[in-house]
A and B are shown apart, each in its own frame.
Chain A
Amino acid sequence: MTRVVVVGNGMVGSRFAAELTDGDGGRFRVTVLGAESAQPYNRVLLSQLVAGQYGPEALALPSAASERVRVHGGTVALAVDRQDRSVLASDGSRHRYDFLVLATGAAARVPALPGLDPWPRGVHALRTRDDALAVVAATAEARSAVVLGAGVLGVETAVALSRRGLPVTVVHPAPTLMDRQLDAGAGRVLAASLARLGIEHRAGVPARRVRTRDGRLTGLDLDDASVLPADLLVVCTGTQPRTDLARAAGLPVGRGVLVDDRLASPADPRVFAVGDCAEPPEGATGLVAQGWEQAARLAARLRATGTGPGALPRRRDRVADDVVKVKAAGLDVVTMGVSGARVGDPALRTLRLSDPDAGRHVEVVVSGQRLVGATCLGDAEVAAELLACYTRGTPVPADPARLLLTPLAAVAAPRPAVTELAEDAVVCRCNGVDRRTIDRACREGATTVEEVAARTRAGTGCGGCRADVCALVEALAPVPAGTSPQPGPGCEKSVTAVSPLASAAVTSAR
C-alpha cells in the first residue's frame, strides 16, 4: 500500500484525496491533515454566505468515500522531515509518507496599516467559513461598512454587505476597480454599475490608517486625508500562499511552493504541491479551476503508475481555467484570457463594444480563429456564449465583431396571424400541411375544421393548430348569401371539443 499524506483539506486537497482513491484498486492509503473542520467546504461561495444567499451548511463539499482516506480535522502540520519521509502534526502524531502533497492553500493578505496591531474589533478578513460567519454576525450591529480592496472578492463582498442593508464604500488603491482583470474603460462601467446598486467607491486612493477607539474600529483614513467612518471593515486585499511548511522543510519557494510542470518540487520528487499554495511554471491564477485540474492530473498519474513520480503528465497545452466571474446579484462581470489593454501582439485583434450608458462593455481578443480573451460587463448572455467559445476553443465567426452580440435566436418574434402567412408556411406541423393546401380545401368547399381535417389532415396530430385552421376557414370559406360572416358555430365547437377526431376517417394517402 502506498502511503500518501495530504496537507490541507480545502477544496483542492479534499478533491485530490477523493480522486486518488476512486478506482485505484485499493493501492493508496491517504492521510489528510486539515487545519479547519474535517468536512471540506466551498470557499468560492464565501461572499455569497455573507450575502445571505447560502447557509453555512450549504457549503459542505463531498469527503472522500474511501475508508482508506483518514481525515484529521483541526490538525495542523507542523513540520516535514524529508529524510524520514514523515509529517509531524499539531496533535503530536507523525505520519509517514511515500508521497507528500502540499495543499495548504493561501491566507488572506493583510496590508501593514497602522491601527491593525492589535487587531481591532470590527475588522475582518474573509478567507474561511469562520471569517464569513464573523462578518455576518458583525452586520447585525454595524451601521456602515468599508471594503478595502476592489478585486473580485472585494466587489462581491461589497455587494453582499449592501444586500444586507448596509451603506458600503469600497476603497481601492489603484485608479481602476478590479484592475487585475479590467482596463480603465471596463473599470468605469463597473464603477457605474456599483453606483447603481448604491455602493460608493473610492478608487485611486490608498488607505493610510485604521481608526479605532477602545480597541474597536471607528473608520478608515485615506491618503487624500479624507476619513470614512465605519464600524465594519472587511479586508479583501488579496491572498498569500501558505509556504511556511515547505520553506522550513528546505523546499524551494517563490511566491508559492515552486513545482515543475509535473507538480513536483524540483528539490524532492516525492513532494508535490497543488492549488493556491503552489507556483507552477505557468503561474498561479488563484482560481479553484486550476487547483482542481491539478488535483485530477496528479491523482490520475499516481493512480496510473502508483510508484515512480518520474512520469507525471505535463499540463495540457491549453487549459482555459483562468475565467473570472463576479458572483454578485445585479452585476455581470466576466473576464477570461488576455485583455486587449495589455497586449501588444500584432497577431491579435481586439474588438470592443462600449456602451457605458447602458452599463455594457464587451471586449474580445482574437488570434486567428480563436478567442484568446474576453471581458464582458452587463450582458450575461453574451458572456455565457463567450465562455463556451473560449473554454472549448471553438472557431470564432468570420467577422469577430459578431462575438459582441448574442448569436442565438432571441425571444421569437410574434408570429403573424395565420391569415397573413405565406402560402408555403406550415400551419399543421404534425402533418406537414401548409397554408396553400388548407386554402385549397376551403375553396373546394370545406367549411369546418373537421372538413378541412378530412381533406388535408390539418389539426389531426396534437390539435395545436386547430385555432389557426379555424381562422383560415372563417377567412376563406365561401359565405352563403344571406348569412352572417361571423365565425360559424361548427368551427368554434370543433376548436374546444376534447376529442373531435375520434370519428374522423380519412383514407390514407398513397
Chain B
Amino acid sequence: MDVTEAVATHCPYCALQCAQSLTPTPTGVEVAPRDFPTNRGGMCQKGWTSAALLQTPDRLTSPLLRVDDELVAVDWDTALDHLAARLRAVRAESGADAVAVFGGGGLTNEKAYQLGKFARLALGTANIDYNGRFCMSSAAAAANRSLGMDRGLPFPLEDLRGAQAVLLLGSNLAETMPPSLNHLAAVRARGGLVVVDPRRSATAALAADDDGVHLQPVPGTDLAVLLGLTHVVLRDGLADRDYLHGRTSGLDALAAAVAAWWPERVEQVSGVPVAALERAAHRLAAAAPVHGGDGAYVLTGRGVEQSSQGTDTVTAAINLALVLGLCGRVGSGYGAVTGQGNGQGGREHGQKADQLPGYRSITDPDARAHVAGVWGVDPATIPGPGLPAVQLLAALGTAGGPRALLVHGANLRISAPSAGDVARRLAALDLLVVCDFVLSETAALADVVLPVTQWAEEEGTMTSLEGRVIRRRRALPPPAGVRSELQVWAELAARLRAPGRWDTDPAAVFDELARASAGGRADYSGLSHARLDGAEALFWPCPATPAGAPEHPGTPRPFLDRFPTPDGRARLVPVDHRGPQERPGPGHPLHLITGRVLQHYQSGAQTRRVPELAAAQPEAFAELHPLTADRLGVGDGDRLRLRNRRGEVLARARISAAIRPDTVFVPFHFAGAGSVNEITNDALDPVSSMPEFKVCAVDVVAEDDPAPHAGAPVEGAAR
C-alpha cells in the first residue's frame, strides 16, 4: 500500500458513519470528510478531531496483568496463557456459564460475529450480551413484533429530504449526529418538523424556530402522547383506511385501546396541551400519502426507548405510522435512529443473549442447525439463551452467577444503569478481562487488559443506521504491541482447544458471517468485502444468488410489497401507558433525564481523551430551569449535588428556560463524581430488558448542602 494515499473509510463514532478519508502523515493521519449519502460531505467536531485519539498519550500498547493490585505490563503469551488457564479453571470449577461475555455496538460486524461464536464455541457459555441492550433493544423488539423485521431505518436516510413532516421522539439529532440535520432542512422549511422532548433541545429548538411543533411532555410520558396522537388521527377520520385494510391486522383492538386516551386525559398525564397534541397530529396526517401529502416519517430515539415501557412506546410509534399508512411506502415510514457506530450490525450477528447470526433466534432449531453447520459443530453444543445485560451484570459474582467476565467494546462502569451497583458486581468477580485501546474506567478495574486496534488501524465492515453495509479500512498500522480482537480470540480459541475455524483476516470472517446469515432476517450472504469495495451502497437483506444469476442489488426499502410476518401484514399491537417505575415524591421531587452533548460519544472514554473536545465540554453539568434554580438558591455555574437512593452525582448548574421546571438534565459522558449513571434506574422493560435510563426521581441541592438524603421515591404508575 502506498502510505501517502488517502484511505476511504468512515468515522469511528456514531451510527451515521460519516464518510472520511484518512491520509497518513508522519505523525498519524489527516482527516477529511468525504461525500456520502448520509453525511453529504459533512462531519461534526468529533469526526474532525478523531485522529487525535490515535496519538493519545495513554494508548495501551502492552497487555496488563494485575499483580498485587497493580496492573503491570506483560508480553502477549504470558497474558494469553494466564488468561486461558484462568478461564479453564473457572469453567472446570463452576461450569461454562460461569464465564460471561459483554460485547459492544461499536465492534465491527466481523468482531460482533466472531465474539458470539467465541462465547458459544470456545467458552461454551450461554451468557453473552452487549451494550446494545442499553441502546436498541426496545426498538428492535417492537419492530420485530409489529413489522416482522428490525432494520433501524427501513429506508435510506436521504428519503427524509422529500418528507412533508417528520415526527422525532426522544432524539436530539442536532447533538448526536449533526450532519444528519442536512436531510431535515427541507422539512424544517415547510414547518413540518415535530419534536417530542422534555427539553427544548437543540433539535427541538429547530422545530420551534421554524414554525414546526415542539411537544414538551413530562419525562416518561411519551407513550401517552403517542396514544393521544393516534386517538386524534382516528377520531378525526384521518386514518388511511385502505392501507389498514390491505396491509395491517388488528385495527379494532388498537382503536379500542387508544379510545381510552382522549386528548384531555393525555394532557393530564403528559402536560402536553390538547391543542398542541392536535396540531401535531394534524400536521403529520396532512403529510401522509392518503391525504395527498408528500410523505411523513415517525422516528424514535433513545429518549423514548430507554424506558421500562420502551418496547410499548416504540410499538405506539409504529402504530401511529401504520394508522397513517406510512410504513412500506416510498417517501414515508417509521424508523429507529440507531446510536452506536455499529449499533445495527452489532445486533444482528449473534452477540445478543438470545440470538445467532443473521438475526436468528437461538431457540429456533432450524437456526441452530444452520449455524452449527457453518461452524462445523453439533447443534446440541450451541448453548441456549443467556441472561440479558442488566440481569447478567446483576448476577456477576453472586452465588451461581458468572465468576469471570470478558468485556469488548464497552465501558460499562460508566454506561450501565445504577453504575455503583455494577462496580460492586465487577469487584465481586474472580476474573475481569477487558479489551480496549485505552485504560477505560472499566479496564482500570480489570485483572487482565488486552490492548487492541482502533478504527483507523483495522479492516472490517459496519452497518449504519440505514442498514447499509459499509467498509471500514485501515489507514495506518497499529502501534507495536497492539492486536486485533480477531487475533485475540483465535489465540484464546487455540489455547482452549475450541472447535471451528478462527480466521484473523476480516474478509475471511466476513465470508463466514455471510454464510451464517444466509436465510436469516439479516441476510448478508450476497455480500463480501470485495463486492462492497466495488459498490458502497448495499443494504441488507442482500442474499446470495445462484451461480450465473445477477447479484442481488440489496434492499434499500424493505416492506414495499409485504411485511416479513407470517401473513405479510404489519401488526397493530395495542399497548397502554403505565408510566415510569419511579416517580417524584417527597425527598426526590424532580425528574432526572440524561442524554448527550455534541462533543462526546457514549461513556466518553474516547472523546474525553481528545483535547479539543474535552476543552469544549470538560465536565458534567446539570441543566435546570431558572425557577428551579431560584427555589434551590443556586446560580449558573454553581456546583450541584444530585442524589437518590442509588447514590449521588456532582455537576455544575446550567440554568436554562429550555427545560421543564420539574426536570433536570445531565449528560452521561463523564466519569467519577460526574457519572450520572450512578443514579439512573435499572428498572427493566419486561419485553426488551432495556433499563430505564431516561427517567428517574432525584433530589438536587447545592454541593455544600450537608443535609443527608432521606425518603424513598414513590413507586407506582401514572394513570
Q: A388-B662, A430-B598, A457-B48 are in contact. Are A464 and B185 (CB under 8 A)?
A: yes
Q: Which of B253-261, B338-346, B375-383, B474-482 is near enough to bind chain A?
A: B253-261
Partner of B590, one of A289, A391, A394: A394
Asked if A315 is at the interface of the complex by the 8 Å CB criterion, the answer is no
How far does the Cβ of B186 sit from chain A's closest Cβ, in whole Å?
12
Contact partners of B30 in chain A: CB under 8 A: 505, 507-508
A450-481 residues at the B interface, CB under 8 angstroms:
457, 460-464
Complex contacts, B218 vs chain A, CB 8 Å = 388, 392
Given contacts A61-B260, A407-B627, A499-B41, contact A380 B273 (CB under 8 A): yes
Q: What does DSSP make chain A's interface, helix, strand, loop or mixed?
A: loop
Q: How long is the Cα–Cα vector from A44 to B23 in the complex, in angstroms? A: 67
A502-B34, A502-B35 known; A60 vs B256 contact (CB < 8 Å) = yes
Q: Is the CB of A58 within 8 A of B255?
A: yes
Q: A42-B259, A460-B33 are in contact. Are A391 and B627 (CB under 8 A)?
A: no
A384 touches B273 (CB 8 A): yes
A-B contact count (CB 8 A): 205
Give the CA-CA distance A437 to B488 in the complex, in Å.
46
The answer, yes or no, to whether B369 is at the interface (CB within 8 Å) is no
**Does any Cβ of A come within 8 Å of B583's Cβ?**
yes
Q: How far is the CB of A47 from chain B (nearest CB, A)?
A: 11
Nearest B residue to A464 via CB reads B181
A214 to nearest B CB, angstroms? Answer: 39
Interface size class on chain B is 35 or more
Which one of B180, B273, B658 has the highest number of Cβ atoms from chain A below 10 Å of its Cβ?
B273
Q: Is B262 an interface residue (CB 8 A)?
A: yes
- The reply on A498 being an interface residue by CB < 8 A is yes
Find out whether the CB atom of A499 lies under 8 angstroms from the CB atom of B40.
Answer: yes
In the complex, the answer to whether B584 meets A393 with C-beta atoms within 8 Å is: yes
A213 near B: Cβ within 8 Å?
no
Q: Is the CB of B31 within 8 A of A508?
A: yes
Structural contact, A58 and B719, CB atoms closer than 8 A: no
CB contacts (< 8 Å) of A389 on chain B: these are 662
A415 contacts B598, C-beta separation under 8 Å: no
Contact flag A387-B181 (CB < 8 Å), given A461-B43, A501-B33, A502-B33:
no
The answer to whether B274 touches A388, judged by C-beta atoms less than 8 angstroms apart, is no
Confirm or deny: B657 has a beta carbon within 8 angstroms of a beta carbon on chain A: yes
Contact A397–B48 (Cβ < 8 Å): no
Q: Is A510 an interface residue (CB 8 A)?
A: yes
A53 within 8 Å of B (CB atoms): yes
Task: List residues 27-44 of chain A with CB under 8 A from any CB of chain B.
Answer: 39, 41-42, 44
When C-beta atoms are compared, the residue in chain A nearest to B55 turns out to be: A510
Contact flag A412-B630 (CB < 8 Å), given A430-B179, A501-B42? no
Q: Is A76 an interface residue (CB 8 A)?
A: no
Q: Are A500 and B55 in contact (CB under 8 A)?
A: no
**Residues from chain B with Cβ under 8 Å of A412 in the complex:** 205, 208-209
CB pair A60 B179 closer than 8 Å: no
B411 at interface, CB cutoff 8 A: no
> Assuming the A-B contacts A391-B268, A393-B585, are A460 and B40 also in contact, with contact meaning beta carbons closer than 8 angstroms in the complex?
no
Q: Do A508 and B178 have beta carbons less than 8 Å apart? A: no
Q: Which B residues lie within 8 Å of A140 (CB)?
A: none
Given A461-B44, A499-B40: A505 and B182 interface contact (C-beta under 8 Å): no
- Chain B residues near A504: list those with CB within 8 A: 32-33, 41
CB atoms of B49 and A509 under 8 A apart: yes
Residue of A399, A430, A505 touching B44 (CB-CB under 8 A): A430
Within 8 A of A (CB), among B618-642: 625, 627-628, 630-631
Q: How far is the CA of A462 from the CA of B660 in the complex (A)?
A: 28
In the complex, A363 has a CB within 8 A of chain B: no
Confirm or deny: A506 has a beta carbon within 8 angstroms of a beta carbon on chain B: yes
A292, CB-defined interface residue at 8 Å: yes
Chain A residues with Cβ under 8 A from B590's Cβ?
A: 394-395
Q: Please indicate the chain A residues that have their CB under 8 angstroms from the CB of B40 in the complex.
A: 463, 498-499, 501
What residues on A are CB-neighbors of B662 within 8 Å?
388-389, 392, 394
C-alpha gap A401/B262 in the complex (Å): 31
> Is A188 an interface residue, CB under 8 A from the partner?
no
* Closest CB in chain A relative to B465 CB, distance in Å: 15
Contact yes or no, B273 A506, CB < 8 A: no
Known A42-B259, A59-B259, A383-B273; judge A391-B42 contact (CB<8 A). Answer: no
Do residues A429 and B178 form an inter-chain contact, with CB atoms below 8 A? yes
B447 located at the interface, meaning its Cβ lies under 8 Å from any Cβ of chain A in the complex: no
* Chain A residues whose C-beta falls within 8 Å of the C-beta of B31 in the assembled complex: 506, 508
Q: Is the CB of B205 within 8 A of A387?
A: no
* A119 / chain B contacts, CB cutoff of 8 Å: none
Of chain A, the residue at the smallest CB distance from B185 is A464
Residues of A within 8 A of B267 (CB): 325, 383-384, 387
Closest B residue to A42 by beta carbon equals B259
Sorting the interface of chain A by its residue count into under 10, 10 to 19, 20 to 34 or 35 or more gives: 35 or more
Check: B611 CB closer than 8 A to any chain A CB: yes
Q: How far is the CA of A436 from the CA of B179 in the complex (A)?
A: 23
B255's closest neighbor in chain A, by CB?
A60
From 1 to 45 in chain B, residues with beta carbon under 8 angstroms from any chain A beta carbon are 21, 23, 29-35, 40-45
| Distance A63 CA – B574 CA, assembled complex (angstroms) | 12
Assuming the A-B contacts A432-B598, A500-B41, are A462 and B627 also in contact, with contact meaning beta carbons closer than 8 angstroms in the complex?
no
In the assembled complex, the Cα of A445 lies from the Cα of B173 at a distance in Å of 33
Q: Which residues of A contact B265 (CB under 8 A)?
A: 44
CB distance from A463 to the nearest CB of B (A): 5
In this complex, the member of B44, B208, B270 whose beta carbon has the largest number of chain A beta carbons within 10 angstroms is B44
Which of A397, A430, A508 is the one whose CB lies under 8 Å from B630? A397
Q: Say yes or no: is A381 at the interface (Cβ < 8 Å to chain B).
A: yes
Residues B584 and A394 in contact, CB atoms below 8 Å apart: yes
B616 within 8 A of A: yes
Interface residues of A in 284-327 (CB under 8 A from B): 289, 292-293, 296, 316, 321, 323, 325, 327
A369 to chain B, nearest CB (A): 8
Beta-carbon nearest neighbor of B658 in chain A: A409
**Structural contact, B52 and A432, CB atoms closer than 8 A:** no
- A402 beta carbon closer than 8 Å to chain B: yes
Residues of B within 8 A of A381 (CB): 273
Within the complex, the shortest CB–CB distance from A68 to chain B, in Å, comes to 18
The answer to whether A387 touches B268 (Cβ under 8 A) is yes
**Is A45's CB under 8 angstroms from B179's CB?**
no
Query: How far, in whole Å, are A45 and B716 apart by their CA atoms in the complex?
Result: 27
- Write the nearest CB–CB distance from B236 to chain A, whole angstroms: 8
A90 to B158 CA separation, bound complex (whole angstroms): 64
The answer to whether B45 and A457 touch across the interface, beta carbons within 8 angstroms, is: yes
Closest to A506 in B: B32
The answer on a CB contact under 8 Å between B719 and A292 is yes
* Best-buried of A39, A431, A504 by chain B (most CB within 10 Å): A431
The answer to whether B41 and A502 have CB atoms under 8 Å apart is yes
Contact A327 B259 (CB under 8 A): no
B275 interface residue (CB < 8 Å to A): yes
Q: Which residues of B contact A39 (CB under 8 A)?
A: 256
The answer on a CB contact under 8 Å between A462 and B180 is yes
Shortest Cβ distance from B40 into A: residue: A499
Point out which of A394, A500, A508, A509 has the most chain B C-beta atoms below 10 A from its C-beta: A508
> Is A417 interfacial (CB 8 A cutoff)?
no
Given contacts A60-B259, A461-B44, A502-B33, 13 further A-B contacts (CB under 8 A): A62-B253, A63-B256, A327-B264, A385-B661, A402-B627, A408-B200, A430-B42, A430-B179, A430-B598, A457-B45, A462-B185, A508-B51, A510-B55
Residues of B within 8 A of A (CB): 21, 23, 29-35, 40-45, 48-52, 55, 174, 178-182, 185, 200, 202, 205, 208-209, 216, 218, 234-236, 252-253, 255-257, 259-260, 262, 264-265, 267-275, 574, 583-585, 589-591, 598-599, 611-612, 616, 625, 627-628, 630-631, 657-658, 660-662, 716, 718-719
- Can you sample 27 A-B contacts with CB below 8 Å? A53-B236, A58-B235, A60-B259, A61-B260, A62-B260, A292-B719, A316-B716, A384-B271, A388-B270, A388-B271, A394-B589, A394-B591, A395-B631, A398-B631, A407-B627, A409-B200, A429-B178, A430-B44, A430-B45, A430-B179, A461-B42, A462-B180, A463-B185, A499-B40, A502-B33, A505-B30, A508-B48
Q: Which 7 A-B pairs have the closest CB atoms?
A: A502-B35, A388-B271, A501-B41, A462-B181, A430-B178, A505-B32, A394-B662
